[in-house]
Amino acid sequence: MTLHVRVSHRYGPFRLALDLKLPTNGITALFGPSGCGKSTLLRLLAGLEPAQEGLVHFRGEVWQDSSQQQFLASDKRDVGMVFQDSRLFPHLSVADNLTFADRYARKGPQMDSAWIMDRLQLSELLARRPATLSGGQRQRVALARALLSRPRLLLLDEPLSALDQTSRHLILELIRDLHDRHLIPILYVTHAPDEVVRLADHLVCLSDGQVAQSGNPVELLSHTGAITADAQALLQGQVEQVDNDYALAGIRCAPEAPLIWVPAEQLEPGQSIRVSIHARDVSLAAQPVPDTSLQNQLPVRIESLSPLDPGRMQVTVSFGKALLPVMLTRRACDQLALEPGQSMVALIKSVALEH
């Protein structure tokens, strides 16, 4: 079952023109810079306005078909949406904002309200008004309200922008668990690569109103040219060893390659996970380095070097079938005499790796 979107929509000189068939059995991240059309696409899907031309089909239902002058209003689409600015009713308490969801109950799965309240830590906020809440608290309330309306499709428009780390962590964990628990399809708008790493089963990269890349996030983030400005790679691996004494886990990401050691955080042997590697956390050496605190020394091959500015270079190296970006100074590149085809050792701190 899919979400099929084929639209053409203009705002002044900007034109959103795309044809997408998205899976509805996971979390799709809509990724790209500000102004590329991510939020516009969500508004069209939510039915907040009709696309000027095109069609929107969700699991066989026609939400819009401009050729037949069909348009299903937003309150008929069983969609829950969370905006960047929460949009709570300022004159209502948190409890009354949450109760308001009952008036617009959709046909999606029944949510465990106690579980949601506990995971988002809302119990102590129920008597307060939105004006007395922090940005992170307001966004947690907005997400709870959307979930309690029982959507069949959840649309999240950069819900973590400008939030504190505690709120970011709470919401990220709940979104992933929410899908695993209720199998609600989620479209998640972001320009933060770490959110893609943590959440996405499918990735759509937008640029100037069009689809630049679409597919598996591991494949897209592991190959040069997909998202070069992010300086981050995503590897798929399996837990092969767990060292409980030191709370580390060894991940096998490539056959016959050394294990990548990451913070364990209750990982178990055989578990499939993703490992995110930032370019800023990787150094290069001509030979393995003895007597060092670095836990990861990976054999790599130089594939390309690209200048970022007068003082920095992005070096792309291959590790197995994956490509990793490395951020180095031009001076370091000259001192190592780096060139394509050269064999090197990538040095990475375990504590810098995310999964």
pLDDT of residue 230: 52
pLDDT at 228 over 60: no
Question: How many Å apart are CA 16 and CA 145, to the nearest integer?
Answer: 30
Question: Above 50 in pLDDT, residue 254?
Answer: yes
Task: Report how far residue 87's alpha carbon sits from residue 181's, in angstroms, rounded to the nearest whole number.
Answer: 26
Which pLDDT score, from 0 to 100, does residue 34 have? Answer: 85
The CATH label, of 3.30.43.10, 3.30.429.10, 3.40.710.10, 3.40.50.300, for the domain at 2-215 is 3.40.50.300
pLDDT at position 221, please?
67
At 337 the pLDDT is 95
- Domain chopping of the chain, boundaries: 2-215, 228-352
Q: d(Cα 110, Cα 225) in Å, to the nearest integer?
A: 42
Mean pLDDT along residues 257-274: 86
pLDDT band per the 50, 70, 90 thresholds, residue 172: confident
User: What's the pLDDT score for residue 224?
Assistant: 43
This prediction has a pTM of: 0.76
Mean pLDDT of the chain: 87
Pairing of strands 186-190, 27-31: parallel
Domain range 228-352, its CATH number among 2.40.50.100, 3.30.200.20, 3.50.50.60, 2.60.120.560: 2.40.50.100
Q: 93-131 pLDDT, tens per residue? A: 999 999 888 777 777 788 888 988 998 889 999 999 999
pLDDT at 242: 92
SS3 readout for 165-221: HHHHHHHHHHHHHHHHHHCCCEEEEECCHHHHHHHCCEEEEEECCEEEEEECHHHHH
Q: Which residue has the higher pLDDT, 271 or 104?
A: 271
